[in-house]
Amino acid sequence: MISYNTAIVLIGTSILGAVSGVLGCYMVLRRRALLGDALAHAALPGLCIAFMIVGARNFVALLGGALVTALAGSWMVTVIPRRTRIKEDAAIGIVLSVLFGLGIVLSRMIQNRTTEGSKAGLDSFIFGKTAGMIAQDIYVISAVGLGVLALIVLFYKEFKILAFDQDFASVQGWPVLWLDGLMMGLVGVTTVIGLPAVGLALMAAMLIIPAAAARFWTDRLLVMIILAGIFGLLTGLLGTAASARWANVPAGPVIILVGTGIFGVSMLISPRRGVVARGVRHLRLRRRIARQNLLRTLYELSEAQWPEATRLTPLDLMKERAWDPAGTARLVKAGLREGLIEGDADRFSLTDTGWRDAAQVVKVHRLWEIFLIEEAQVAPGYVDRDAEQIEHVLPPDLVDRLQARLVELDLLPKPLREVPERHAALAPIERVAGS
Amino acid sequence: MIQWWNSLPIHVTDAIWTISVGATCAIACALLGCYLVLRRISLIGDAISHAVLPGLVLAFILTGTRNPVPMMLGAMALGVLTAVLTEALHRVGRVPTDASMGVVFTSLFALGVILITVYASQIDLDPGCVLYGLIEFTVFDTIGFGELEVPRAFLATGATLGLVLAFITIFWKELKICSFDPMLASSMGISAALVHYMLMAMVAMTTVSSFEAVGSILVVAMLIAPGATAHLLTDRLGRMMRIAAGAALSSAILGYLGGVWLNTSVAGMIAVVSGIQFALAAMFSPRYGVIGKAVHNLRMGLQIVREDALGILWRLREREGRASISRPELERLLGAGWMTRLAMRGLQSSRLITASAAGDLALSGAGREEARRLVRAHRLWETFLSSELERSPQNVDESAHRIEHVLDSDLADRLDHRLSHPATDPHGSPIPRDDADDSLAKETPAR
């Protein structure tokens, strides 16, 4: 059974995680991932100034002050690259560190003036005092979180345009500057309420990691937002739960590492953009190309004797294609397994299936060659040498013409000439449609 | 020498040592920062300064001492690892660079904080100190060299500055080429990747040696701000580095003085001073500053109004035979406004126009020369456009009006020669020659 305190912290971090995951999507898509970090640091001087003015720990005033300098920081990050030759990365770095420095200066001055230990307050601001969350924090976080989510739903279309094509948005007459300001305001508010709870480093991470993880799974904004929200929520939940087990480990870093874990898993196993999936696709492609290369080589070495099958050795293949022995042996083994060749690994010849497949591969290859040689002026838009089936890439009448040229030049693979009807895929589509 | 030094009051030597610590790490950071700013990878400085934390802790755990050498090596390894991981996530995972950097450094930083708390009993690394540094306390931790007490931190930052200087001197050409044109570097057989990772290792080392003094966030200000300030002031790499180093040195001195004066964090103050330096450069840099650019535009604008005024006076005399014009009328023709008034004042003070007792304005001798040059450029260009480029005479005035301000007399002479010395422009107005007397102007009919 979890204690009341743990429950409070669980709820707080997961709501915060969900909201910043959602907002982070826009930051990641707009290549502004590190702006959240800058905002978080820029909040410090505002917090100190508000503390100096209001004096006591007036929660709302402190957050208001923090928000003001955070937004001023984000404004500077946009203005500096526009008005000077300094690029955005340097602008972010300068704003982040200089405003943080100002915050340190101010906070030390506060510490000197007041006798009460406000250094603890500052430390919790930087590292977060996750375990010290109270019910009031939850109310603030939930209220702000709901408000932010509501605004995101309300301005969904506008933010979407902003995220993907800002120029288009301004051409269409959207008030880009205001929308941008609103978006930064939302990020600022979320950052500022999150800071005392989870600290600087965690806030930056929460804005980046769930969104970057969600990006692996989808190309659609809505799905990405929902996923990032869920990832953020999970990060908060699991991280808090994990840190509750070890008493003296601060929750913030554990939460970050849980997020990193989710990110890592997403990067590995997501079906389309994941590393494993892309590796498998890459491997398949390589295998397909290797098979095609084997068939073509076998065909070219056997063509003269057709229809008699030529007995070949690995050495023949290696001489023809400059392959290495190990790779050749692997290819031959694969060919035997697939029934393309018969015999053993040292002496083999094409089977009937082998002849047919090889002839097909060679024909497509020669069609491509003819295409590149004779129709080269249209080639650049169409060149996709890997296409197994040329008719998917080129218009049917062109394939027909190329095939006619192949016959004319006596390059059509012999096994195909003897086949009474032409390969269905190569029959002109009009004729198929007309019959 | 040492005796004289030791005879100084303790607060003076402390101040000098503190400033020296600040200045050495600020200069080392600023020199490396120039490359980061130029290559637009400033934020890798931020990332590395956070990510070296686990390297420090691991080195400490493995060796069990606070010996700076293994700690530096651990930090350098982590610095390079940050760069490698960022690149790997970007390349293998197709994550945008900024996001991959964010993921990598926050994760490594989190790992470092956890390691610190787990091994807290053995390490006196205060995470707070790592973040914002306590340069004021560096003078309390000294090593004696005979009579001389040298702060330990100064040894670290001084050695780092020496290494950075050596690194930059040895790899000056490679670093320069890789910063401006990595493609060219590769084609010349310089491994841009190797240079990049060496730079990252140096950044990590510098960051770590600055930790004690200024902490991991303020070191970012030291890395980026002086380089960016210098980038606003010059286009040459060598000068950029000298300016950046100068800015770093002055930020350390002023930061210390400011910090002591306000009784606050010296490290924070150094960052604030570098921020102010950057803001000043962004405003007032003659070529790239906001105000510098505005001044430049204003001067261009004034020059154009002045030249327009001269042109009006010339044409007035040519067409109506009037040598002078009342001030309000000329201002009306130019479009009244403060620019016009300012331009008139400029013309009078440079004696290009003279005012009669009644307040009427006329061209002076020098003004007439200047006006002739302008009108000549204007009309030659019109002739060129209509005869050589076959534009209709109605469409040439606008272009000529713009180009007369930039067409110098040499180019005008060439145009004149090319067009075989035409007497009139497409509108029939005479093209003034250098040797023409003023009588020419009187006999021309209005167009």
pLDDT for B127 equals 57
Say yes or no to pLDDT of A278 above 70: yes
- Dihedral sign for Cα atoms in the order A316, A318, A321, A327: positive
Contact by Cβ (8 Å): B228, A88: no
How many whole angstroms separate alpha carbon A330 and alpha carbon A291?
11
Is any Cβ of chain B less than 8 angstroms from the Cβ of A254?
yes
How many whole angstroms separate alpha carbon B443 and alpha carbon B157?
81
pLDDT for B303 equals 86
Whether residue B257 sits in one domain with residue B185: yes
CATH of the domain at B217: 1.10.3470.10
CATH 3.20.20.140 fits A277-350, yes or no: no
- Dihedral sign for Cα atoms in the order B55, B56, B59, B64: negative
How many whole angstroms separate alpha carbon B129 and alpha carbon A127?
12
Work out the minimum CA distance from B209 to partner chain A, whole angstroms.
18
Q: Pairing state of beta strands B360-363 and B142-145? A: unpaired
Restricting to A residues 16-75, those with a Cβ less than 8 Å away from any Cβ of B are 28, 31-34, 37, 41
Put the strands of the sheet holding B324-326 in their side by side order.
Answer: B324-326, B360-363, B353-355
How many whole angstroms separate alpha carbon A125 and alpha carbon A59?
13
> Is the pTM here over 0.80, yes or no?
no
Average pLDDT across chain A, whole number: 81
Amino acid of residue A24: G
- Which residues of chain B neighbour A205 with C-beta distances below 8 Å? 102-103, 106-107, 110
Q: What phi, psi does A385 have (nearest 5°)?
A: -60, -20
How many whole angstroms separate alpha carbon A313 and alpha carbon B151?
76
CATH of the domain at B367: 1.10.10.10
Q: Which of B94, B98, B288 sits opposite A34 (nearest CB)?
A: B98
Per the model's pLDDT, the better-predicted residue between B282 and A308 turns out to be B282
Q: Pairing state of beta strands B360-363 and B353-355? A: antiparallel
Cα angle A240, A245, A248 (rounded to 5 degrees) comes to: 90
Please list the alpha-helical segments (H only) found in B262-337: 266-284, 290-320, 327-334
Whether residue B86 sits in one domain with residue B172: yes
How many whole angstroms separate alpha carbon B372 and alpha carbon B311?
8
CB–CB contact B217 A204 (8 Å) = no
- Domain end: B260, B285, B310, which one? B285
On the question of a common fold for A4-271 and A277-350, the answer reads no
Whether residue B302 sits in one domain with residue B238: no
**Domain span holding position B77:** 2-285
Sequence ranges of the domains in chain A: 4-271, 277-350, 365-434
Say yes or no to pLDDT of A419 above 70: no
Work out the minimum CA distance from A298 to partner chain B, whole angstroms.
36
Q: Exposed, middle or buried by CB within 10 Å (0-12, 13-18, 19+), for B435?
A: exposed
Whether residue B335 sits in one domain with residue B254: no
Whether residue B36 sits in one domain with residue B182: yes
pLDDT for A2 equals 67
Work out the minimum CA distance from B385 to partner chain A, whole angstroms.
36
Average pLDDT across chain B, whole number: 84
How many whole angstroms separate alpha carbon A95 and alpha carbon A98?
5
Helix (H) or strand (E) holding A31: none
Whether residue B191 sits in one domain with residue B116: yes
How many whole angstroms separate alpha carbon B338 and alpha carbon A406?
80
- Domain end: B261, B285, B309, which one? B285
Our count of domains for chain B comes to: 2
pLDDT digits (tens, 9 = 90+) for A185-235: 899 889 888 887 777 778 889 999 999 999 999 989 999 999 999 999 999
Helix/strand/coil for B376: helix
Contact by Cβ (8 Å): A157, A43: no
Contact by Cβ (8 Å): A425, A391: yes
How many whole angstroms separate alpha carbon B247 and alpha carbon B233?
11
Query: Could you tell me which of A114, A124, A32, A122 has the C-alpha nearest to residue A81?
Result: A32
CATH 1.10.3470.10 fits A4-271, yes or no: yes
pLDDT digits (tens, 9 = 90+) for A137-187: 788 888 989 999 999 999 998 899 888 888 888 888 888 888 888 888 899
Query: Could you tell me which of B216, B185, B180, B175 has the C-alpha nearest to residue B79?
Result: B216
Place of tokens 């802790």: B57
Helix/strand/coil for A33: coil
C-alpha radius of gyration, chain A, whole number: 32
Nearest chain A residue to B229 by CA: give it.
Answer: A86
- Which residues of chain B neighbour A83 with C-beta distances below 8 Å? 282, 290
With residues binned 3-state (H G I as helix, E B as strand, rest as coil), the percentages for chain A, rounded to 5, are 80, 0, 20
Query: Could you tell me which of A154, A161, A179, A194 has the C-alpha nearest to residue A21?
Result: A194
Percentage with pLDDT > 90 across chain A: 20
The pair of structure tokens assigned to B392 is 């209709």
Whether residue B318 sits in one domain with residue B257: no
pLDDT for B441 equals 46
What ipTM did this prediction achieve? Answer: 0.80
Please list the alpha-helical segments (H only) found in B321-364: 327-334, 338-349
> Which residue pairs, CB below 8 angstroms and at least 24 apart, start in A407-415?
A409/A370, A411/A366, A411/A370, A412/A363, A412/A366, A413/A299, A413/A303, A413/A358, A413/A359, A413/A360, A413/A362, A413/A363, A413/A366, A414/A303, A414/A306, A414/A307, A414/A359, A415/A306, A415/A307, A415/A355, A415/A356, A415/A358, A415/A359
Restricting to B residues 43-72, those with a Cβ less than 8 Å away from any Cβ of A are 43, 45-46, 50
- Which residues of chain A neighbour B259 with C-beta distances below 8 Å? 105
- Which residues of chain A neighbour B278 with C-beta distances below 8 Å? 94, 98
Say yes or no to pLDDT of B444 above 80: no
pLDDT digits (tens, 9 = 90+) for A82-124: 888 898 889 999 999 999 999 888 888 887 776 554 555 566 6
